[in-house]
């Protein structure tokens, strides 16, 4: 699943390119935290991988709460799906395939944001990272389905 790191890496690079457009300092901190969290996945030490995993979950939860408080529901849903993916992976709950299938929803919301609201969206950098992560999760499901056929 090396392609998953490549896909998320593209999202992180695109998100970092949009760093200047991210206005509130809180969102900048989340963006930098997500980039560092992704960077930690390249180390083989188990502690750093665990820190990366948990920081991703905490940062996506913080982003979702922030967007919910400010009534930015598209961003909230995109962040919520990323957090739910973290939660499902952490708890090893069943129905992960269904959750990965539902990643179509935040991906579609991200595309809609790019088409309609690109210039006015403050959290575009963060939702770019999260949408590319969600795309990688969806592609995991597609790969599993292809192996069944």
pLDDT digits (tens, 9 = 90+) for 33-49: 999 999 999 999 999 99
Banded model confidence at residue 120, pLDDT cuts 50, 70, 90: low
Helices within the chain (DSSP H only) = 2-17, 25-40, 46-69, 73-91, 96-101, 104-116, 124-148
Tokens matching residue 51: 């820190």
In angstroms, the CA 28 to CA 25 distance is 5
What tens digit of pLDDT does each residue of 40-95 get?
A: 999 999 999 999 999 999 999 999 999 999 999 999 999 999 999 999 999 999 99
Cβ atoms of residues 128 and 18 within 8 Å: yes
What tens digit of pLDDT does each residue of 95-117 get?
A: 999 999 999 999 999 999 999 87
Indicate left, alpha or beta for 92 from its phi (over 0: left) and psi (-120 to 50: alpha): left
In angstroms, the CA 30 to CA 13 distance is 14
DSSP class of residue 95? -
Give the number of C-alpha atoms closer than 13 A to the C-alpha of residue 67, restricted to the C-beta side: 23
Cβ atoms of residues 136 and 4 within 8 Å: yes
In angstroms, the CA 28 to CA 8 distance is 18
Which sign does the torsion angle of CA 44, 48, 53, 55 carry? negative
């Amino acid at each position: 699943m090396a392609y998953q790191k490549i896909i998320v890496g593209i999202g992180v690079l695109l998100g970092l390119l949009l760093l200047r457009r991210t206005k509130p300092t809180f969102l900048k901190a989340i963006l930098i935290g997500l980039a560092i969290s992704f960077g930690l996945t390249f180390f083989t030490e188990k502690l750093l991988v665990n820190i990366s995993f948990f920081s991703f979950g905490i940062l996506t939860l913080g982003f979702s709460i922030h967007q919910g408080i400010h009534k930015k529901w598209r961003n909230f849903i995109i962040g919520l799906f990323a957090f739910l993916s973290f939660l499902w992976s952490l708890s090893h709950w069943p129905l992960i395939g269904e959750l990965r299938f539902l990643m179509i929803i935040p991906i579609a919301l991200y595309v809609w944001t790019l088409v309609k609201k690109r210039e006015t969206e403050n959290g575009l950098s963060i939702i770019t990272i999260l949408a590319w992560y969600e795309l990688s999760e969806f592609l995991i499901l597609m790969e599993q389905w292809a192996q069944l056929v």
